[in-house]
Chains A and B, each alone.
Chain A
Amino acid sequence: MTRETTDRQVKELYAESDAASKRELESLANSISHFREMVHFAAECQGAQLPVSAQLERAAKRQQSRQRRMMLEWAVALALCVTAAIPATSYLRTQAAREEAQRQAQILQQREADTALLEQVTNELSESVPDSLQPLADMDNDYAKDQTYTKERTNGRN
């Protein structure tokens, strides 16, 4: 492709340009044209080429080794995951056991507290006089005692 073609290609993309821009675009086209020439030159500087069958063979070998490497990488990644998973699983298992033991201890504590409360309630129900009425019961006893004493004294005098 000639430099004029690059110039046309560049100008196609910048259709609406003034004179100053056109000069700049020409310079840009020139630079790109040099760039293309340099790449073409670099690509032509190749060493001796192998026959096509040898090239295909080399590519096939490379492909095989790439596949093997990929499989190896996956295997290593899997092994690393397993290695990392074992301590993590062990930790999670220990943590779960600890939480279960804590839960059992809490249930036991709760059960003991419930038993104590039930015993207290039973004891209080089995009393002849409730605690709240005990002062009245005491007063009643005192009064009964007092009456007995007075009666005895009156009988003694008679």
Chain B
Amino acid sequence: MLDLADFDEVVRLYRQRVFRFLLASLRDRDLAENLTQDCFLRAYMAREHFRGDSSLITWLMKIATNLIRDHLRSKRLRFWTKTRETALDPVDVSDWVPDERSSPEEDLIARTQVSHVWKAVGQLPAKQRTVFVLRFVEEMELREIAETTGMNPSTVKTHLYRALAAVRESMGGKL
């Protein structure tokens, strides 16, 4: 069982990845920060249940996925609550430079492409978005995504295919 000192190391190693996954999924910096803390609290409280059957990051991502699901569910019920104020937008990330060697035109094209992908991913159903982010942002294997989401690998592949088809369509490609 992990004690707080070991857990400190776990947080140090995986915090960034969990935060990034939550940020890409929820697009709200404060919310992602809060849920990252919630994720590690849940992990700390349930640390005796971790048997090491899956990797630690898969276990943490599973907790994060459950937190996203709970958050979206409670958000649907709390329809009267205020909208996000700390929402992330690719346009806001003005310091981001696609490639330092690229020309201003290439830079603009890259930003436009990112904007399209961002918009398309935002419109995906929750499961497809989760699978897409885990695959293309967190670079997880299909087997790891299946473990994280509790889906069959074939279902993961279907969701991924559909998500990619939606993104491709939004970029002007054929399905």
Which A residues fall within an 8 A CB radius of B?
1, 5-6, 9-10, 13-14, 21, 24, 27-28, 30-32, 34-46, 49, 52-53, 55-56, 58-60, 62-63
Contact of A13 among B8, B24, B139, B161 (CB under 8 A): B161
- Sample of 8 further A-B pairs with CB below 8 A, known A1-B139, A9-B136, A38-B90: A24-B168, A27-B171, A32-B117, A36-B136, A36-B137, A38-B114, A44-B16, A59-B40
The answer to whether A63 touches B41, judged by C-beta atoms less than 8 angstroms apart, is: yes
Contact of A42 among B88, B117, B135, B174 (CB under 8 A): B88
The answer to whether A32 touches B136, judged by C-beta atoms less than 8 angstroms apart, is: yes
Residue ID in chain A nearest B110 by CB atoms? A34
Q: Which residues of B contact A44 (CB under 8 A)?
A: 16
A36 to B17, CA, bound (A): 12
The answer to whether A52 touches B8, judged by C-beta atoms less than 8 angstroms apart, is: yes
The answer to whether A55 touches B37, judged by C-beta atoms less than 8 angstroms apart, is: yes
A108 to B168, CA, bound (A): 80
The answer to whether A58 touches B117, judged by C-beta atoms less than 8 angstroms apart, is: no
Contact of B135 among A9, A53, A56 (CB under 8 A): A9
Interface centre among B88, B96, B116 (most CB of A within 10 A): B96
Q: Which residues of B contact A42 (CB under 8 A)?
A: 23, 88, 93, 96
**A34-B139 contact given A13-B160, A40-B20, A56-B44, CB 8 Å threshold:** no
Contact of A37 among B98, B157, B174 (CB under 8 A): B98
Per the CB 8 Å criterion, the residue count for chain B at the interface is 44
Name A's interface SS: helix
Please, what's the 1-or-0 string for B80-121, where 1 marks a CB less than 8 Å from any CB in chain A? 000000001010010110100000000000100110111001
The answer to whether A46 touches B19, judged by C-beta atoms less than 8 angstroms apart, is: yes
Residue ID in chain A nearest B112 by CB atoms? A31
Interface centre among A1, A27, A34, A35 (most CB of B within 10 A): A35
The answer to whether B7 touches A28, judged by C-beta atoms less than 8 angstroms apart, is: no
The answer to whether A35 touches B40, judged by C-beta atoms less than 8 angstroms apart, is: no
Q: Which residues of A contact B16 (CB under 8 A)?
A: 43-44
